[in-house]
Structure 1
Amino acid sequence: MQQLAFDLFAEDRLPRKPYCSDDLAQGLLIRPLHVALSKRYIQPNRPGMASYLAFDVDRPDAGAAWIDSNAPRPSFVIKNPDNGHAHYLYALEHAVCTTSAARLQPLRYLAAIERSISKELRADPGYSGLIIKNPSHHHWQTIITETRPYRLSDLASHLDLSTAPARPVERDSWGLGRNCTVFDDLRFWSYKAVTGYWRPGGESAWLNAVRDQAHTLNLFASPLQLKEVDQIAKSVGNWVWKRFNPRERRALIERTHTPEIQAKRGQLKGAKLREAMMPTVLEMKAAGHSQSAIARETGISQQTIGNWLKRALPGV
């Protein structure tokens, strides 16, 4: 079982040159993997890919945190024998790309899972997951509880994801939620900003502008790595440049602004306005106000007021 579990922490899953250290107070080093594996601390995920979810549980009973919760069984619990604090590591069957603008949904799903597990374990929300206690290092007490990698659906089946933020306007500032936040803010900015670069030779200037904007959005207490932000910017910049050029925009307008669609939108807008304002219009009419007075008070044209009243009060 021990060897089977450590296949989940094998060289084909880890960065080729990870960050590592024997003493975090002395800073991080970048070393070849065979050297990094001899260090107490190591980077588990390759840049731009999430093969593991990592959590930091800073309390003496950390080793039993998952037992007392609804969290899935972890792949590794890596305990500090001196104080009982631990890192939890969940190995994923398929790595999730954290820098692809065209595939945000898997990343959002994984971020929601990460958020829910962290809540169940009562883990440190400020932990970035960049560095973990090395489960193969003899300094730590490593407890193996699951030898098979997880599919996202398997992890989600243990959890309540309903409390996880799902809307782009709800900013996340830690974990994989930071990636989603930078993606969303950057792509919404890009949709409008790209029009200023529609000129010969504009692509290079555009990609530089997207990169600069991405770094201005990386204002978290624990920021994303600069390289990861660059990868997000490249992904968003290339995707928007290919799909939001003048030719594609004209095609989109032709598909979405036909006379029939515009007429239907106008009807829907008018119906919502009428539903919201009709009680006020009827109340003012019953109080003896003229249609012109109602129009002045509500800001709605007198002709529209007249049409509404004819429909609501036949014979008026």
Structure 2
Amino acid sequence: MTSPTTLLTDGQWADDVLLPYRPYATDDFERGQRRRSRETALTMRYIEHSPHALLGSIVVDCDHPDAAMRAFERPRDHPTPSWVAQSPSGRAHIGWWLASPVCRTDSAKLQPLRFAQRVEAGLRACVDGDFAYGGQLTKNPIHPSWETIYGPSEPYELRDLVTVHTPRQMPRRPDRAAGLGRNVTMFDTARVWAYGQWWSHREGTARAWDQLILQRCHAVNTEFGVPLPFVEVRATAQSISRWVWRNFTEEKYRARQAEAGRRGGKVVSPAKREANRKRATKIDVNALMEAAL
């Protein structure tokens, strides 16, 4: 006889599922969002379920009045959600809790994040979720504004969330990126650009290099339909800039250029490289950072 499944609870969600120590939270998006103490954030309607560095849950916005039915009705082609927080209209945020959080800030280890991106896209397709959902804040499952239905109390491994709708690859164009796809696209676009820029800036300061990469990441971010929060852009830029600055040498740079040439990669002319640099550096980083505070 199969033992009944233990369901997630409010207490377990607040203590185990919620990752940020000081989450962003708000009661009204028009008033903006701010970091709060964990205790205060848990009293608010919308809350950050994962910090910018670690993805602890995959959340999909289902903008349909029968969201809970789409999430739990059988037969279905996706795993049972960990929770569904729905509004009186029936629209809901559907979440799957991950056993192993995925790092979003290490440019040297993109494979897990790419996999998570594909898994998220598959789950979104299963419930016909909103492509434009930013993914940072979710309906707080323990807030009285929402009716929450809990699923299994055990977290999922990413591989267990693969469905028949999980794509084999994702589009790379920024204007087609959504959810986790924005993180992956920013990583891929900015880090490849940084590799080519290192030679021209290798004799400068680490601070100037950090600002250059931040400017490039922000330029990529402006192409997304729903841009990432500045804190995530800054974290991505720091990860890329520090890794390249720490690991690149003249020998490694030349070896990479030779490999690109061997594979038929196009050689970027000095004029083109300078045009790219000017386009990326026209953004005022100090103004961006002040706006984010």
TM-score calculated relative to the size of structure 2 = 0.79
Gaps (5+ residues) in structure 1? 270-316
Gaps (5+ residues) in structure 2? 1-5, 265-293
Which residue is equivalent to 1:73?
Answer: 80
Which residue is equivalent to 2:136?
Answer: 130
Take 1:30 and 1:115, find their aligned partners in 2: how far apart are those partners? Answer: 28
Which residue is equivalent to 1:150?
Answer: 156
- Which of residues 27, 30, 49 is equivalent to 2:32? 27
Residues 213 and 141 of structure 1: CA distance in aligned 2, closer, same or farther (over 3 Å): same
- Which of residues 208, 215, 223 is equivalent to 1:205? 208
Q: How does 1:160-239 map to 2 (within 5 A)?
A: 160-161=165-166, 163-166=167-170, 168=172, 172-199=176-203, 201-219=204-222, 220-239=224-243
SS where residue 206 of structure 1 aligns?
A: helix
> What amino acid does structure 2 have at the position aligned with 1:71?
H
Take 1:210 and 1:152, find their aligned partners in 2: how far apart are those partners? Answer: 30
> What amino acid does structure 2 have at the position aligned with 1:54?
V
* Per-residue CA distance 1:197-240 (angstroms, 9 max, x = gap): 122x4333222211111111102121111111111111111212
Q: Give the helix-richer structure, 1 or 2.
A: 1
Which residue is equivalent to 1:115?
Answer: 121
SS where residue 211 of structure 1 aligns?
A: helix
Work out whether residues 5 and 146 of structure 1, in 8 Å CA contact, stay in contact via their aligned partners in 2: no
Cα shift at 1:247: 3.5
SS where residue 10 of structure 1 aligns?
A: helix
SS where residue 169 of structure 2 aligns?
A: coil
Work out whether residues 77 and 142 of structure 1, in 8 Å CA contact, stay in contact via their aligned partners in 2: yes
State whether structure 2 residue 244 is matched by structure 1 residue 240.
yes
Work out whether residues 11 and 33 of structure 1, in 8 Å CA contact, stay in contact via their aligned partners in 2: no
* Per-residue CA distance 1:156-210 (angstroms, 9 max, x = gap): 2x3443x3434756864210000011011101111111110122x4333222211
- The number of equivalent residue pairs is 256
State whether structure 2 residue 109 is matched by structure 1 residue 106.
no
Work out whether residues 8 and 91 of structure 1, in 8 Å CA contact, stay in contact via their aligned partners in 2: no
Larger radius of gyration: 1
Asked which structure has the greater RCO (Cα within 8 Å, sep 6+), the reply is 2
Residues 253 and 47 of structure 1: CA distance in aligned 2, closer, same or farther (over 3 Å): closer
Residues 63 and 216 of structure 1: CA distance in aligned 2, closer, same or farther (over 3 Å): same
Residues 253 and 89 of structure 1: CA distance in aligned 2, closer, same or farther (over 3 Å): closer
TM-score calculated relative to the size of structure 1 = 0.73
CA RMSD of the aligned region, Å? 2.7
Residues 134 and 13 of structure 1: CA distance in aligned 2, closer, same or farther (over 3 Å): closer
